[in-house]
Structure 1
Amino acid sequence: MYKCALILAAGQGKRIKSNIPKVLHKVCGKEMVNHVIDNMRNAGIEDVNVIIGKGAELVKDYTKDRKVFYSMQEDQLGTGHAVKCGKDFLQGKDGIVAVFAGDAPLTKIETINNLMEEHISKNNSVTLLSAYVKDPTGYGRIIRDGDEVLKIVEHKDCTEEELKVKEMNAAMYCFDIKELLVSLEELSNDNTQGEYYLTDVIGILKSKGKRVGAVVTDYEDTIGVNSRAQLAEAEEILRNRINNIHLDNGVTLIDPKTTYIGTDVQIGKDTIIYPNNIIEGKTIIGEGCTILQNSRIKDSIIEQGVEIQASIILDSKIGEKTTVGPFAYIRPDSVIGKSARIGDFVEIKKSIVGDNTKVSHLTYIGDAQVGSGCNFGCGTVVVNYDGKAKHKTIIGDNSFIGCNTNLISPVEVGNNSYIAAGSTITSKIEEGDLAIARAKQRNIKGWVNKKGLMK
């Protein structure tokens, strides 16, 4: 059966008090609307249409990699109006459409699947997602007859008996597309708010004798975000879920409460992660790694047996059994080889560093290709920028770079060569050569006395 989705993401979100659309605020490193899109795709829904309005261009920019469709809601006139704005997307389609909010990032993939399966198996016209809550104040109540929904009653309209009902409407739906399109034509905004309510579609379908069902899920699955406090609540819930998945998969988290792992991160078993680490994006960490405290890793590949401490690694690759840090900065598009050493206060930018190479401390390597088995002395700088353009330095295998060396790019250092400490290298060093590029020391006798500087 054909499946598609509408994601309602047109509102600004007044209570969140932000200059950017509410749905672009992040939970565990990913925008809320992208959580919803990804969950839909992971539930087997290929065609996703996002209803946009406030901050439309920003929402498009942040979701463009998801290859979704868009419908514009110029005026925000209720949830029914938002769905009406997606009619062109739905026209001519035969199947089911899931309708979810872009500010509800916590709905599990299996919950979406359960909703669609219940809808199909019971031949419903619409199936709602619901949850039981201790205090349903403010929520619409689900009034049932067995497994069939009779109606949804808003809190303010409930009778005394209906107020006792603990099952609330989560405002997440699965509709038969053709039934929805017909019902939208009959939807009215004849109410005090002058808005079109999607819940009114339920009444329209019931009046025609159509079957309406509901799937009960955990309350956490249904939480929407309308304020910074709710954003923090969603962050905590999702972080705990993610951390528990990794714990179940054989990863040790010394303190899960201070460990922040993104939804798309993969971590191998027997890896140990210490407190105060942030691991984001599509990072992949291999087996048997040790991530010591205070590191940030984003969109990077960390191969097995790597140790990282108090360092930043962005969009890069670290080879197996390499050590990084403390206080190293691996900038985007860098590749570090196997069994290498990137030490304290070392910065690598858009460079390749070969296997078994040691860059132990206080060194900058930018736009360079470094061979295997090299040793960098303290204070080495690859001077790759002339004020207009970046230039490349190539360093061969088994080279020794003395302390306080400047390599003025573009320059090439041959295999098995040595550079004396304090040298500034401006031309090619052939294989096996020793390069010395510094002024000869000269001592001026009695200079301090002559200058009257003796203390």
Structure 2
Amino acid sequence: MVRRCLSIILAAGEGTRMKSSMSKVLHPVAGLEMIRHVARAAAAAGSSDLAVVVGRDGEAVEAAVRQDVGTVATFPQHERLGTAHAVLAARTAIADGADDVLVLFADTPLIRPETLARARAVLAAGAAVCVVGFRPADPTGYGRLVEQDGELVAIREEKDASAEERAIGFCNAGVMAFAGADALEMFDSIGNANAKGEYYLTDLVEIARRAGRSVRAIEADADEVTGVNNRAELAAVEALWQDRRRRAAMLDGVTLQDPATVYFSHDTEIAADVTIEPSVVFGPGVRVASGATIHAFCHIEQASIGEGVSVGPFARLRPGTRLAAGSKVGNFCEVKNADIGEGAKINHLSYVGDATVGDAANLGAGTITCNYDGAMKHLTEIGAGAFIGSNSALVAPVRIGGGAYVGTGSVITDDVPDDALAIARQRQVNKPGRGREITERNKAAKAARAKSGGAVISRHQS
């Protein structure tokens, strides 16, 4: 029997320490909003229903989550009266009768689906409550998880803990799972007889135990339950995510020459036997096929890179770039919204935008597709086997035929037929002696300027 799971994501915090114009949970890690990381983890752990408790920017938070999860309900939290009060904002979702209820936090984007699945397994084995714990390097300030004979008997806040309990290194991460059948009854039993007058999820441990129900704890890695409250912590979580992804890539057969300098996006797809040199940044939507080499100092986003392709160094691939097998984009090149054919070469210092480049075509250094007229973008078509000489400008819309040859330094404004030679430049003119005259004139002007103390000498004065 498949157990139905409801995940409740708490996303109503003000996030004032972020000092941001938008909700904290919309800040990205690896190019994906934090709350979407959490929603994806819940879905991967088998959660069929999702409830998001929202506050600031509620509509934007809901819109972000809907990109990944089809069935989502949002519940506003108008007052801040503790974690249990926040969960009960989603009362109607809890009352719908899921077997398992997970309570997650939108600012812990590194939570793993495997951890949530383990918590659900504890519920399936008969527990009423499962608490996710971790072992921080320094437990100071965290609630301690007090266990006895495999059962969790208490979550003891540090101010209330004995010396023996303070020595416990197993701490409360905040993430919890509850048996759905008992969830509302347990939540309604939570009181607020405390200094702050708030309702705390941690009270459920005592409530469940008084009812004779089993309460268990599982351990997660400290990294995956790391929360984000400010920009420094956001950067720290980004670093943890990147380290995790780099290791996974290398274990999958990707060579990272200097792993710490390579940055992935949440959806980067890198095949085995790809080599990535130092200082490479992958934006969203990048796929790299086997055998490709990404040389140093490249920036790539929304691009598809085929087998055996060579990119860079110092290349930028912008959205819509598709490089077929065996093609090359050289150093200091930029490619945007272009299909580059098999074996085609775009050599150094070139810009190719809104273009198709045929198989085995060669674009010399400094080739530019002039795709923008100030209002519209236009297409440049370069046929298979064409050769574009260095420092040529191809003014779109224009077609260079297959096997055609464009002379160096040409400005091409008309189509070039297949196998034709196009030369679009003025014929060179040599004027004997004029070079020496210009040199002597320039030297005289420089001497006059020095004599006048550096004042600029106009042409009329000289």
Tell me, yes or no, whether TM beats 0.5. Answer: yes
Change (3 A) 1:27 1:96: same
Change (3 A) 1:161 1:338: closer
Change (3 A) 1:401 1:143: closer
1:284 to 244, 258, 269: 269
Once the two structures are overlaid, the 10-residue window that deviates more, 285-294 or 244-253, is: 244-253
2:37 to 35, 41, 45: 35
CA distance in 2, matches of 1:435, 1:244: 51
Shift of 1:229: 4.8
The answer to whether 1:307 aligns with 2:293 is yes
| 1:349 equivalent in structure 2 | 336
| 2:420 equivalent in structure 1 | 433
Change (3 A) 1:74 1:440: same
| 1:295 equivalent in structure 2 | 280
1:246 to 249, 261, 268: 249
What letter corresponds to residue 36 of structure 1 in structure 2? V
What is the SS of the residue equivalent to 1:51? strand
Indicate if the aligned counterparts of 1:334 and 1:352 stay in contact, CA closer than 8 A: yes
CA distance in 2, matches of 1:230, 1:125: 33
CA distance in 2, matches of 1:393, 1:230: 46
CA distance in 1, matches of 2:398, 2:184: 67
1:108 to 92, 109, 112: 112
| 1:442 equivalent in structure 2 | 429
2:180 to 154, 177, 181: 177
Gaps of 5+ in 1: 259-275
Once the two structures are overlaid, the 10-residue window that deviates more, 433-442 or 61-70, is: 61-70
What letter corresponds to residue 148 of structure 1 in structure 2? E
| 1:51 equivalent in structure 2 | 53
Shift of 1:438: 1.8
Give matches, 1:25-424, under 5 Å. 25-67=27-69, 68-121=72-125, 123-132=126-135, 135-256=138-259, 258=260, 276-298=261-283, 299-309=285-295, 310-424=297-411
CA distance in 2, matches of 1:444, 1:77: 88
CA distance in 2, matches of 1:166, 1:445: 88
Indicate if the aligned counterparts of 2:257 and 2:278 stay in contact, CA closer than 8 A: no
Shift of 1:449: 8.3
Indicate if the aligned counterparts of 2:323 and 2:340 stay in contact, CA closer than 8 A: yes
Change (3 A) 1:90 1:27: same
Indicate if the aligned counterparts of 2:256 and 2:275 stay in contact, CA closer than 8 A: no
Using the aligned pairs only, state the percent identity.
36
CA distance in 1, matches of 2:200, 2:324: 58
Gaps of 5+ in 2: 444-462
Shift of 1:305: 1.5
Change (3 A) 1:373 1:254: closer
Change (3 A) 1:433 1:409: same
**Root mean square deviation, CA, Å:** 2.6
What is the SS of the residue equivalent to 2:264? strand
Indicate if the aligned counterparts of 2:135 and 2:169 stay in contact, CA closer than 8 A: yes
| 2:24 equivalent in structure 1 | 22
Change (3 A) 1:280 1:94: closer
Shift of 1:194: 2.9
Change (3 A) 1:142 1:345: closer
Shift of 1:237: 4.0
What is the SS of the residue equivalent to 1:152? strand
Shift of 1:421: 1.8
Change (3 A) 1:426 1:335: same
Change (3 A) 1:16 1:354: same
Indicate if the aligned counterparts of 2:399 and 2:415 stay in contact, CA closer than 8 A: yes
CA distance in 2, matches of 1:239, 1:389: 38
What is the SS of the residue equivalent to 1:100? strand
Shift of 1:383: 0.8
Q: TM-score, normalised by structure 1?
A: 0.87
Change (3 A) 1:160 1:294: closer
Indicate if the aligned counterparts of 2:313 and 2:331 stay in contact, CA closer than 8 A: yes
1:12 to 14, 22, 37: 14
Change (3 A) 1:160 1:283: closer
